[in-house]
Structure 1
Amino acid sequence: MSSHQALLIIDYTNDFVADKGALTCGKPGQEIESSIYDLAEKMYQNNDWIWFPTDVHKKNDPYHPESKLFPTHNVRNTWGRELYGSIKTWFEKYNDGEQVKLFDKTRYSAFAGTDLDLRLRERNVDTLHLVGVCTDICVLHTAIDAYNLNYKIVVHENGVASFNQPGHEWALDHFKNCLGAQVV
């Protein structure tokens, strides 16, 4: 059985990236757009999986732990939850619900409460490429779960960003030194 790779483009939405986003990392998030686009294009041509685990919330949800930590963001069917910039255009061009697809997540990790692990194993995926935002929150928590599930992890440094630069730097170090990830 041959092994396969998947690219996870994590939370690359208007609310997390656009200037007017509810929880934006702003310029650092905007500066990684072309790197994400180029990597998605390359991996698509290579017949790899390109999936978009995308945060979704209800407005003023009293039961979600993030409601106490962050302003309301990524509410379903809002501009804020739409993919950002050229990544939205790329997704609309290639989205087939299989090789390229977007799926909901409601926690930091793309694995928490989703069938991501099952879907990856069905496709013999053993290596995950991670890009998106925020490096030290959703990308980090996804990487930790991937590590605990024995995936090989590749974090693309020019494809991740955060609104917290010290947190971003710490997470890059943590990927390498605690999760054995390849940071490229």
Structure 2
Amino acid sequence: MEALLSIDYTYDFVATDGNLTTGEIGQNIESDLVALTKDFIEREQFVVFAIDGHDPNDSYHPENKLFPAHNVLGTKGRELYGKLAPLYEENKEKENLYWIDKRHYSAFSGTDLDIRLRERGITTVHLTGVCTDICVLHTAVDAYNLGFKIIVHEKCVQSFDEEGHRWALRHFKNTLGAEVI
């Protein structure tokens, strides 16, 4: 069984005026990411939206010292970007869609993602979203450590750091044994 993990494809990470945006290069993956997500939904495969949710006043959260405030709970910045938003809204009541609020880079850290995947017999995770070298990478490392097969959709991931993006794609393949398609 397979699942699609849609990681942080939100306004703050993708919109031109987002607080920590990939900008145009992140926007350029929208059609491929939405098409893949729609395909998984239509085939009734498990689709997880793993989305950062931050409180800028949380003095204990390390990201508040590393990055500008982003994906703040209750703001537009945390909303899904572009055509992914209405696709989610149209299907969010379906049993095969699941939203995870995450506080850390990895979708597995501090969430019930591993349990949700295992109870469905899922052994393969497909990764999409931003940023390739941060949240997608850390999710992939945890998936690897938990024994999941990993497929990264190259046309559905991006970063604001091109060098980091290219490095992460190599790392997925050469160190985690992921399939990069």
User: Hey, what's the Cα distance between the residues in 2 that align with 1:165 and 1:30?
Assistant: 14
User: Hey, what's the Cα distance between the residues in 2 that align with 1:102 and 1:84?
Assistant: 15
User: Hey, what's the Cα distance between the residues in 1 that align with 2:5 and 2:95?
Assistant: 13
Q: Which of 168-177 and 53-62 deviates more?
A: 53-62
8 A contact 1:60–1:72 mirrored in 2? no
TM-score norm. by structure 2 comes to 0.98
User: Hey, what's the Cα distance between the residues in 2 that align with 1:64 and 1:25?
Assistant: 22
Letter in 2 for 1:100: L
Letter in 2 for 1:7: L
Deviations 1:83-140 (A, max 9, x none): 0010001000111263112110000000000010011000000000000000000000
- Counterpart among 72, 75, 78 of residue 75 in structure 1: 72
- Counterpart among 19, 23, 26 of residue 20 in structure 2: 23
Contiguous gaps of at least 5 residues in structure 2 = none
CA-CA distance at 1:59 after TM superposition? 2.1
- Counterpart among 152, 168, 172 of residue 149 in structure 2: 152
Where does 1:76-155 land on structure 2 (aligned, <5 Å)?
A: 76-96=73-93, 98-155=95-152
State the secondary structure of the residue aligned to 1:125.
coil
8 A contact 2:56–2:64 mirrored in 1? no
User: Hey, what's the Cα distance between the residues in 2 that align with 1:97 and 1:90?
Assistant: 12
User: Hey, what's the Cα distance between the residues in 2 that align with 1:96 and 1:143?
Assistant: 27
User: Hey, what's the Cα distance between the residues in 2 that align with 1:8 and 1:55?
Assistant: 13
8 A contact 1:25–1:161 mirrored in 2? yes
State the secondary structure of the residue aligned to 1:179.
coil
8 A contact 1:10–1:133 mirrored in 2? yes
TM-score norm. by structure 1 comes to 0.96
Question: Are residues 1:11 and 2:16 paired?
Answer: no
User: Hey, what's the Cα distance between the residues in 1 that align with 2:94 and 2:110?
Assistant: 19
CA-CA distance at 1:60 after TM superposition? 2.9
State the secondary structure of the residue aligned to 1:124.
coil
User: Hey, what's the Cα distance between the residues in 2 that align with 1:74 and 1:131?
Assistant: 18
8 A contact 2:29–2:158 mirrored in 1? yes
Contiguous gaps of at least 5 residues in structure 1 = none
